[in-house]
Amino acid sequence: MEKCNLDNACSYVSDKIGEIPKIALILGSGLGSLADKLEQPVLIPYSQIPGFPLSTAPGHASRLVCGSLNGNRVIAFQGRFHHYEGYSMEQIAFPIRFLSKLGCSTLVVTNAAGGINRSLVPGDLMLISDHININGLNPLLGPNDDSEGTRFPDMTSAYSQDLRDLLVETAENLNIRLKEGVYAWTTGPSFETPAEIQMLRILGADVVGMSTVPEVLTAVHGGLDVLGISCISNMAAGILDQPITSEEVIEIGRQVSGRFSELISGFIALYYRRNS
Ligand code: HPA
């Protein structure tokens, strides 16, 4: 069933978009406006794509947007699927498997995250160097389809060093402050307790968020090169003497969106210059 849906999703989308972009983007909470900047966009609601789930989280649209940024082709997910919405790991994996099958080679995942490392401040952009999965969940659990990827994928370089170098170079060229660190995935939907944040700090996490890791595991399995960027929307629980709200997460995303778009556009331009 899934294989059939994947084939149908790929032929449905490739008929609509023509040439397949090398780069795909997943736009996190409050960061979806970058997709509105794409030139000559082809918009495809998820509801029309065979096998795709629908996204329900606030701050997320629900469509695929394919177009160009300064002449460079990209395909963007405007709205993503979270486990806390009730989607299974399999449903979350589907759009990523779809990208591998479509023929994309690089996935840029972005998210809003809470800052654990005290050197971070809300509004910072952070390059993800690695992740921590403490949830006991993994989209690769179950029978392995060897045509999609190996049974035991190596996660030593889940976040491609070449792409990380390229993003650092882009940020330097554009004079954009870019931090680097480890992303810990919690399922949500509740924000963490201060004790949980203390635990994650001890484990080596710099930021915490409710997405990204399932997609990255699927992407690496499917042979995609991955770049991850977190937008620090708030300090994690217990770091400041104030509660955390989803409104601030989305509001900071909006405030950062100009800088964020500039960084991603610069990255894509440099990527195509180096990979064409
Ligand atoms: N915790 C988990 N997920 C988040 C946070 C947070 O503090 N901020 C944005 N996404």
Q: What pLDDT digit, counting tens, does each position of 146-172 carry?
A: 999 999 999 999 999 999 999 999 999
Residue nearest to atom 3 of ligand 1 (CA): 209
Whole-number pLDDT of residue 209: 97
Whole-number pLDDT of residue 29: 73
Residue 38 CA, ligand 1 centroid: distance in Å = 28
Show the beta-strand stretches assigned E in the chain. Answer: 23-27, 39-45, 63-69, 72-78, 106-115, 125-133, 178-185, 207-209, 225-235
Q: Return the SS3 of 178.
A: strand
pLDDT: which is higher, 257 or 270: 270
pLDDT over 80 at 141, yes or no: yes
- How distant, in Å, are the alpha carbons of 14, 25, 176 from that of 37? 21, 13, 20
pLDDT over 90 at 272, yes or no: yes
- How distant, in Å, are the alpha carbons of 50, 64, 89, 96, 195 from that of 220? 23, 21, 15, 10, 31
Pick from 152-161, 178-187, 250-259: least confident? 250-259
pTM value?
0.95
What phi-psi label fits residue 146: left (phi over 0), alpha (psi between -120 and 50 degrees) or beta?
Answer: alpha
CATH superfamily of 2-274: Nucleoside phosphorylase domain (3.40.50.1580)
Name the residue of 83, 234, 248 whose CB sits within 8 Å of the most ligand 1 atoms, as the mutation to test its pocket. 234
DSSP designation for 50: T
| 273 half-sphere exposure, CB direction, 13 A CA radius | 9
The pLDDT of 202-206, averaged and rounded, is 98
Whole-number pLDDT of residue 257: 87
Residue nearest to atom 5 of ligand 1 (CA): 114
Question: What lines the ligand 1 site, CB under 6 Å?
Answer: 112-114, 186, 191-192, 208-210, 233-234, 236, 244, 249
The pLDDT of 220-236, averaged and rounded, is 96
Residue 232 CA, ligand 1 centroid: distance in Å = 8
pLDDT tens, residue by residue, 51-86: 888 766 555 578 999 999 989 999 999 888 899 989
Whole-number pLDDT of residue 80: 85
Whole-number pLDDT of residue 231: 94
Orientation of helix 213-221 relative to helix 89-102, angle to 10°? 40
The pLDDT of 203-221, averaged and rounded, is 98
Residue nearest to atom 2 of ligand 1 (CA): 209
Which atom of ligand 1 sits closest to the CA of residue 234?
8
Q: Return the SS3 of 67.
A: strand
The pLDDT of 35-53, averaged and rounded, is 90
pLDDT over 60 at 256, yes or no: yes
Which atom of ligand 1 sits closest to the CA of residue 249?
9
Residue nearest to atom 9 of ligand 1 (CA): 113
**CB–CB of 217/192 below 8 Å?**
no
Whole-number pLDDT of residue 1: 57
pLDDT over 60 at 217, yes or no: yes
pLDDT: which is higher, 3 or 105: 105
* Helix%, strand%, coil% for the chain, nearest 5: 40, 25, 40
Distance (Å, whole) CA 33 – CA 258: 9
Whole-number pLDDT of residue 55: 60
Q: Return the SS3 of 107.
A: strand
pLDDT band at 204 (very low <50, low <70, confident <90, very high): very high
Residue nearest to atom 10 of ligand 1 (CA): 113
pLDDT over 70 at 143, yes or no: yes
Whole-number pLDDT of residue 232: 95
Distance (Å, whole) CA 270 – CA 38: 17
Which atom of ligand 1 sits closest to the CA of residue 211?
3
**CB–CB of 114/190 below 8 Å?**
no
Whole-number pLDDT of residue 70: 87
Helix (H) or strand (E) holding 214: helix 213-221
